[in-house]
């Protein structure tokens, strides 16, 4: 187990710094809570020290899910220990790694000190605290169960973080392979192709179209490298902007839903996010139409979002949720709709959705483990095609020249 070097404070304000073994950060917080301590700072012993933040553009400034999860978990522990919100925030502000998050927490603390409710203060920072977070806190305040709401939110974010981490981890291998392939290709175009092109020119050889294309690309990169770099970044920017448009988002999400290998992962992951959020909101006492409205904002795929959003109107008119979602079985798995129907009949919708979320999270995890094995043959085919194209383009003229010499 990793060893954590931590700093914690008691409710009296006494500070304690020690090193302790814990399975993860969550267990460390629980161990300290049993001793009546609140975690202030923790680092894994032996982990590399992080360098200073340096200059960062506002465009890249964001609060990570991991940091919000850490904040929620610690706030829940402090509230359960009887610490007032303003004092709890004072400790949590010092723990914030993101400057943007620290500024937001400071302003929220000031608003709470002026008598504004916690949920109203959060609503001023929708880019940090989602509708789900705000509504769960509001329900907790109104029902006197803020600690339970924070505990549910922390669990929700922990599951979401784990699921996203596994999906991102599965994409590292193909990303590394593709990047390496592009790097080798650029090196070949800069160092090898120009020498072969000079040889062909000296021999006045007749070149096929593919060879001319490769040589032309090499000349473009070597002679107009500055323009090639600008074009590369412009292409990335244009692609990013295209994906941000409504049409681009629709086309990309449709591709993810239809692509043979990744479609099942996309459907399972979105289903897991949706049913987990819906379960948390319903169990907290939020009305079903409002829960669906909030849930539609948690899923990333636009077709999932549309299906859930349109179900809001039908449910508002008295239609059952399972019937409202049935027309969208091509997007939402039929298992989800069937289990919701069972929950409606038994009155255990929230519990069934929670179990369904566990199932789809496990399914997503299993499929992401197999993703690398599934993608590997495709990557090999792509690399083989690229290498084959390059080899044929550059070797074919050589064989032609050797044939003429004989």
Q: Is the pLDDT of residue 116 over 80?
A: yes
Please count the CA atoms within 13 angstroms of the CA of 167 that sit on its side-chain side.
20
Residue at 326 is within a domain: yes
Per-residue pLDDT reduced to its tens digit, 306-318: 888 888 888 888 8
Average pLDDT, the chain: 81
- Residue range 203-212: average pLDDT? 79
User: 293 and 214 in one domain?
Assistant: yes
| Cα dist from 126 to 63, 115, 132, whole Å | 12, 20, 10
User: 385 and 358 in one domain?
Assistant: yes
Q: Is the pLDDT of residue 374 over 70?
A: yes
User: 257 and 175 in one domain?
Assistant: yes
Q: Output the pLDDT for position 49.
A: 44
Residue with the bigger pLDDT between 369 and 134: it is 134
- Please state the separation of Cα 13 from the chain's center in Å: 37
pLDDT band per the 50, 70, 90 thresholds, residue 404: low
Residue 39's φ and ψ, nearest 5 degrees, are -65, 130
Task: Read off the pTM.
Answer: 0.64
- Residue range 76-103: average pLDDT? 85
Q: Among 99-113, 158-172, 245-259, which stretch is predicted with the lowest mean pLDDT? A: 158-172
Give the whole-angstrom CA distance, residue 9 versus residue 37: 5
Give the whole-angstrom CA distance, residue 28 versus residue 25: 5
53-57, long-range: CB within 8 Å, 24+ apart, which pairs? 53/99
- Residue range 159-172: average pLDDT? 80
Residue at 280 is within a domain: yes
- Give the residue from 120, 154, 188 where a domain finishes: 154
Give the whole-angstrom CA distance, residue 270 versus residue 26: 25
Per-residue pLDDT reduced to its tens digit, 179-193: 888 888 888 888 888
pLDDT band per the 50, 70, 90 thresholds, residue 204: confident
User: 271 and 178 in one domain?
Assistant: yes
Torsion-angle region of residue 22: left (phi > 0), alpha (psi -120 to 50) or beta?
beta
Residue at 104 is within a domain: yes
Residue at 71 is within a domain: yes
User: 89 and 192 in one domain?
Assistant: no
User: 398 and 319 in one domain?
Assistant: yes
Q: Give the percent of the chain with pLDDT over 70.
A: 89
User: 346 and 217 in one domain?
Assistant: yes
pLDDT band per the 50, 70, 90 thresholds, residue 394: confident
CB contact at 8 A, 178 and 186: no
Q: Output the pLDDT for position 58.
A: 42
Per-residue pLDDT reduced to its tens digit, 64-73: 888 888 888 8
Match 């993608």 to its residue by tokens. Answer: 375
Residue at 163 is within a domain: no
Q: Output the pLDDT for position 402.
A: 63
User: 177 and 314 in one domain?
Assistant: yes
Q: Is the pLDDT of residue 128 over 80?
A: yes
Angle subtended at Cα 296 by Cα 294 and Cα 301, rounded to the nearest 5 degrees: 150
Q: Which of 258, 405, 277 is closest to 336 using CA atoms?
A: 277
- Total domain count, the chain: 2
Per-residue pLDDT reduced to its tens digit, 7-52: 776 656 567 788 888 776 667 777 777 777 766 666 777 654 444 3
User: 275 and 244 in one domain?
Assistant: yes
Give the whole-angstrom CA distance, residue 308 versus residue 33: 40
Q: Output the pLDDT for position 172.
A: 82
Give the whole-angstrom CA distance, residue 37 versus residue 77: 9
pLDDT band per the 50, 70, 90 thresholds, residue 55: very low
Q: Determine the angle formed by the axes of helices 65-80 and 25-34, rounding to 10 degrees.
A: 10
Residue at 90 is within a domain: yes
User: 176 and 149 in one domain?
Assistant: no
Q: In which order are the strands placed within the sheet that holds 3-10?
A: 15-21, 3-10, 37-44
Q: Output the pLDDT for position 64.
A: 85
pLDDT band per the 50, 70, 90 thresholds, residue 112: confident
Residue at 96 is within a domain: yes
| Cα dist from 31 to 82, 358, 381, whole Å | 17, 26, 51
Residue at 53 is within a domain: no
Give the whole-angstrom CA distance, residue 26 versus residue 31: 9
Q: Output the pLDDT for position 25.
A: 65
Give the whole-angstrom CA distance, residue 83 versus residue 360: 37
Q: Output the pLDDT for position 239.
A: 86
- Residue range 90-98: average pLDDT? 84
Per-residue pLDDT reduced to its tens digit, 250-291: 898 888 888 877 888 888 888 888 888 888 888 888 888 888
Q: What is the CATH number of the domain that holds 32?
A: 1.20.81.30
Q: Is the pLDDT of residue 54 over 60?
A: no
Tokens encoding 35: 């001793």
Q: Output the pLDDT for position 217.
A: 85
Q: Is the pLDDT of residue 100 over 50?
A: yes
Q: Output the pLDDT for position 51.
A: 41
- Give the residue from 154, 186, 208 where a domain finishes: 154
- Residue range 153-158: average pLDDT? 83
| Cα dist from 59 to 56, 127, 305, whole Å | 8, 13, 26
Q: Output the pLDDT for position 366.
A: 83
User: 206 and 111 in one domain?
Assistant: no
Q: Whole domain around residue 95: which residue ranges? A: 3-43+63-154
- Residue range 206-213: average pLDDT? 82
Tokens encoding 68: 């919000």
- Give the residue from 154, 183, 213 where a domain finishes: 154
- Residue range 320-333: average pLDDT? 88
User: 298 and 205 in one domain?
Assistant: yes
Residue 252 CB partners (closer than 8 Å, separation 6+)? 243
Q: Which of 78, 86, 133 is closest to 105 using CA atoms?
A: 86
């Amino acid at each position: 187990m990793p060893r954590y070097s931590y700093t914690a404070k008691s409710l009296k304000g006494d500070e304690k710094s020690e090193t302790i073994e814990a399975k993860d950060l969550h267990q460390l917080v629980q161990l300290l809570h049993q001793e009546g301590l609140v975690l202030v700072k923790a680092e894994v012993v032996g982990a590399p020290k992080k360098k200073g933040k340096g200059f960062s553009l506002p465009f890249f400034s964001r609060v990570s899910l991991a940091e919000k999860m850490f904040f929620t978990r610690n706030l829940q522990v402090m509230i359960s220990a009887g610490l007032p919100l303003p004092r709890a925030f004072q400790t949590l502000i010092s723990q914030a790694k993101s400057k943007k998050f620290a500024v937001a927490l400071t302003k929220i603390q000031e608003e709470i000190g002026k008598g504004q409710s916690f949920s109203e203060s959060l609503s001023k920072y929708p880019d940090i605290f989602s509708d789900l977070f705000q509504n769960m806190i509001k329900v907790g305040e109104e029902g006197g169960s803020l600690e339970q709401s924070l505990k549910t939110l922390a669990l929700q974010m922990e599951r979401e973080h784990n699921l996203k981490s596994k999906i991102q981890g599965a994409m590292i291998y193909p990303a590394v392979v593709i990047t390496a392939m592009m790097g080798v290709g650029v090196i070949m175009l800069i160092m090898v192709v120009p020498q072969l092109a000079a040889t062909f020119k000296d021999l006045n050889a007749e070149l096929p179209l593919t060879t001319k294309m490769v040589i032309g690309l090499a000349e473009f990169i070597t002679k107009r490298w500055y323009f090639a770099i600008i074009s590369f970044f412009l292409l990335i920017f244009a692609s990013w902007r295209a994906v941000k448009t409504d049409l681009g988002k629709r086309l990309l999400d449709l591709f993810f839903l239809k692509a043979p290998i990744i479609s099942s992962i996309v459907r399972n992951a979105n289903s897991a996010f949706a049913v987990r959020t819906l379960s948390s909101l319903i169990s907290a006492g939020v009305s079903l139409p409002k829960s669906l409205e909030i849930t539609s904002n948690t899923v990333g795929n636009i077709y999932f979002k549309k299906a859930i959003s349109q179900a809001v109107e039908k449910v508002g008119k008295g239609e059952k949720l399972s019937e409202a979602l049935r027309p969208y079985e091509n997007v939402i798995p039929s298992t989800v709709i069937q289990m919701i129907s069972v929950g409606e009949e038994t009155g255990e919708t929230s519990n069934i959705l929670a179990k369904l979320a566990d199932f789809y999270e496990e399914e997503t995890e299993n499929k992401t483990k197999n993703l690398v094995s599934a993608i590997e043959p495709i990557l090999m085919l792509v690399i083989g095609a690229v290498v084959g194209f390059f080899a044929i383009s550059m070797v074919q003229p050589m064989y032609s020249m050797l044939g003429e010499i004989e």
